[in-house]
């Protein structure tokens, strides 16, 4: 609130004192200040001197405290109860399963106590992100992205590479995705170069996935980054010709894809063989797939179809859904999947309601990251796609997965909580300069990279 006048400022201050939600203070104060100015001009035109006009204009506004109280009623943060309820049900179900099996064998004895510990940490992480004003993230998007990059790299350097690659990459990617949304937002209005720079940031994350190496992380990052960038181009965030914009993204992608297929055709055709002929290589790559497929096809509607031949590896992390279907029947599996489906729909409804481009991109990124995991997990568990190492958000056993997914959910609901409070204030204030501009015989190249973007 930077008002030229003390009286106006006093008035606005006492209005805002009544409004608990701080994030609306600025916009409310600005609107009311404009109103007072208009009213003042009107009185000046009627022949009053400046000071009297202003005093009359302020008086006209009414009692500041009661105006503030009225506004406070309409600006209460919103809570998405259905998503909170579904997540709670999933976490409780997951806990119940860990409880039932904790201690049934030696390698499961720690499960429930671990679950209790990490679920508390996850809920705490959720709450911190949920109540934190996410718009602050928009100020230093590149710093945040680079920070995650360096931390991941440090983990790589200082930990021994386990067999099968760094599992941490998966969780790092879940954080890279919302950070990438921040990057895209910061490159808003930057034209074609904005798209290219976004692409470079994506590639730096993808590079980590490759040296890790973690195919599933690369897949998650790619699906999410492409959804974010495609939506941004389609929504006109970059202010470019959409067709050329899509071409910039998809032509190099298709080319690299073709090169990949040519270079690794043997490996890829092997994967395809497993799909088409599950009997192919039954002792090697096809083993897990066959095992899961048999388990699913033998499952009953309700009740257990487990027998001494059933083997479900990693049943409490990567193939929990397969296990549930085998242990309690299709109905139980469908129930869990339906809950997940409702969760996905509710998340997308939040995204669709965002008016502000930053809230939109951030909520989209969290939603895509959670949704991609759920979809890939379900498809892999019911043997529609080859088995992959992935976790079911809020459900699979595992501290890192649970905590990172809770952070994503926290971000999404934090956006929802404030969605009606932060509307698009960018139209007038946005850094509108194009990257290349030619003015007074001077060619200016402005990437806008040095300026932190401030919301409001």
Query: In whole angstroms, how close is the CB of 205 to other proteins at the nearest point?
Result: 34
If the CB atoms of residues 58 and 144 are measured against other proteins, the closer one turns out to be 58
Candidates 9, 18, 37, 446; binder of other proteins (CB under 8 A) is: 37
SS3 181: helix
Question: What is the chain's length?
Answer: 456
Question: Is 91:42 a contact under the CB 8 Å cutoff?
Answer: no
C-alpha triplet 133, 416, 96: angle, nearest 5°: 100
Query: In whole angstroms, how close is the CB of 176 to other proteins at the nearest point?
Result: 32
Query: In whole angstroms, how close is the CB of 32 to other proteins at the nearest point?
Result: 7
Query: In whole angstroms, how close is the CB of 36 to other proteins at the nearest point?
Result: 8
Candidates 71, 111, 184, 326; binder of other proteins (CB under 8 A) is: 71
Candidates 60, 120, 161, 267; binder of other proteins (CB under 8 A) is: 60
Question: Is 410:127 a contact under the CB 8 Å cutoff?
Answer: yes
* Residue 67 lies near other proteins (rule: CB under 8 A): yes
- Taking contact as CB under 8 A, which single stretch among the options 62-70, 88-96, 122-130, 279-287 is the one that binds other proteins? 62-70
* Residue 79 lies near other proteins (rule: CB under 8 A): no
Question: Is 55:39 a contact under the CB 8 Å cutoff?
Answer: no
Query: In whole angstroms, how close is the CB of 76 to other proteins at the nearest point?
Result: 10
* Residue 46 lies near other proteins (rule: CB under 8 A): no
Considering only residues 259 through 298, tell me which ones interact with other proteins, judged by CB under 8 A.
Answer: none
CA distance 101 to 82: 29
Candidates 20, 22, 73, 454; binder of other proteins (CB under 8 A) is: 73
SS3 437: strand
Candidates 74, 113, 297, 352; binder of other proteins (CB under 8 A) is: 74
C-alpha triplet 217, 221, 222: angle, nearest 5°: 115
* Residue 81 lies near other proteins (rule: CB under 8 A): no
Instruction: Show the tokens assigned to 253.
Output: 């992608």
If the CB atoms of residues 138 and 380 are measured against other proteins, the closer one turns out to be 138
Query: In whole angstroms, how close is the CB of 28 to other proteins at the nearest point?
Result: 8
* Residue 327 lies near other proteins (rule: CB under 8 A): no
- Taking contact as CB under 8 A, which single stretch among the options 60-68, 115-123, 135-143, 248-256 is the one that binds other proteins? 60-68
Q: Where are the beta strands (DSSP E) in 227-288?
A: none
Query: In whole angstroms, how close is the CB of 98 to other proteins at the nearest point?
Result: 41
Candidates 14, 17, 26, 70; binder of other proteins (CB under 8 A) is: 70
Considering only residues 338 through 357, tell me which ones interact with other proteins, judged by CB under 8 A.
Answer: 355
Q: Which DSSP letter does residue 306 get?
A: -
Query: In whole angstroms, how close is the CB of 415 to other proteins at the nearest point?
Result: 15
CA distance 189 to 186: 9
Question: Is 33:8 a contact under the CB 8 Å cutoff?
Answer: yes
Considering only residues 417 through 456, tell me which ones interact with other proteins, judged by CB under 8 A.
Answer: 420, 423-425, 427-428
- Taking contact as CB under 8 A, which single stretch among the options 30-38, 231-239, 280-288, 298-306 is the one that binds other proteins? 30-38
CA distance 345 to 351: 10
Query: In whole angstroms, how close is the CB of 417 to other proteins at the nearest point?
Result: 13
Q: Verify cis geometry, omega within 30 degrees of 0, for the bond prior to 147.
A: no
* Residue 45 lies near other proteins (rule: CB under 8 A): no
Among 22, 90, 130, smallest CA distance to 416 is for 130
SS3 413: helix
Size of residue set near other proteins by CB under 8 A? 30
Number of C-beta neighbours around residue 49 at 10 A? 9
Query: In whole angstroms, how close is the CB of 34 to other proteins at the nearest point?
Result: 6
* Residue 30 lies near other proteins (rule: CB under 8 A): yes
* Residue 27 lies near other proteins (rule: CB under 8 A): yes
DSSP assignment of 102-168 equals TTSSGGGTTHHHHHHHHHHHHHHHHHHHHHS-GGGGGG-HHHHHHHHHHHHHHHHHHS---TTS-TH
- Angle of helix 6-18 versus helix 64-74 axis, rounded to 10: 40
Question: Is 152:208 a contact under the CB 8 Å cutoff?
Answer: yes
Candidates 20, 50, 63, 272; binder of other proteins (CB under 8 A) is: 63
Instruction: Show the tokens assigned to 77.
Output: 């943060």
Query: In whole angstroms, how close is the CB of 203 to other proteins at the nearest point?
Result: 36
Residues of this chain that bind other proteins (CB under 8 A)? 27-28, 30-32, 34-35, 37-39, 41-42, 60-63, 66-67, 70-71, 73-75, 355, 420, 423-425, 427-428
């Amino acid at each position: 609130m930077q008002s030229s006048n003390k009286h106006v400022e006093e008035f606005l201050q006492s209005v805002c004192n009544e409004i608990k939600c701080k994030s609306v203070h600025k916009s409310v104060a600005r609107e009311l200040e404009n109103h007072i100015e208009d009213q003042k001009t009107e009185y000046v035109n009627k022949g009053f001197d400046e000071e009297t006009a202003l005093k009359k204009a302020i008086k006209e506004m009414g009692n500041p405290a009661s105006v503030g109280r009225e506004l406070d009623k309409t600006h209460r943060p919103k809570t998405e109860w259905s998503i909170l309820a579904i997540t709670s049900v999933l976490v409780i179900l997951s806990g119940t399963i860990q409880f039932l099996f904790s201690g049934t064998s030696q390698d499961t004895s720690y499960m429930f106590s671990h679950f209790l510990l990490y679920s508390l940490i996850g809920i705490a992480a959720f709450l911190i992100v949920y109540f934190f004003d996410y718009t602050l993230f928009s100020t230093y998007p590149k710093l945040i992205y680079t920070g995650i990059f360096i931390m991941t790299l440090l983990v790589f350097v200082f930990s021994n590479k386990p067999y099968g690659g760094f599992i941490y990459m998966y969780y790092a990617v879940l954080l890279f995705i919302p950070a990438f949304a921040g990057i895209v937002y910061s490159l808003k209005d930057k034209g074609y170069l904005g798209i290219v720079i976004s692409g470079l940031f994506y590639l730096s994350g993808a590079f980590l996935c490759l040296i890790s190496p973690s195919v599933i992380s690369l897949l998650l990052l790619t699906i999410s980054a492409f959804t974010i960038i495609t939506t941004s181009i389609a929504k006109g965030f970059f202010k470019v010709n959409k067709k050329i914009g899509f071409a910039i993204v998809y032509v190099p992608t298709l080319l690299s894809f073709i090169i990949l297929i040519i270079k690794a055709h043997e490996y890829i055709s092997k994967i395809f063989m497993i799909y088409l002929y599950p009997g192919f290589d039954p002792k090697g790559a096809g083993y897990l797939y066959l095992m899961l497929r048999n388990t699913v096809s033998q499952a009953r509607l309700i009740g257990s179809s487990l027998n001494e031949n059933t083997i479900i590896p990693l049943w409490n992390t990567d193939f929990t859904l397969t296990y549930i279907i085998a242990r309690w029947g299709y109905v139980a599996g469908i129930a869990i999947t339906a809950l997940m489906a409702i969760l996905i729909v509710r998340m997308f409804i939040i995204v669709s309601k965002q008016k502000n481009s930053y809230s939109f991109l951030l909520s989209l990124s969290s939603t895509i990251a959670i949704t991609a995991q759920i979809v890939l997990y379900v498809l892999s568990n019911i043997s529609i796609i080859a088995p992959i190492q992935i976790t079911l958000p809020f459900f699979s056993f595992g501290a890192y997965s649970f905590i990172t997914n809770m952070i994503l959910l926290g971000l999404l609901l934090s956006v929802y909580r404030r969605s009606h409070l932060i509307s698009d204030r960018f139209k007038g204030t946005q850094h509108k300069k194009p990257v290349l501009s030619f003015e007074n015989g001077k060619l200016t190249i402005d990437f806008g990279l040095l300026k932190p973007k401030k919301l409001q």
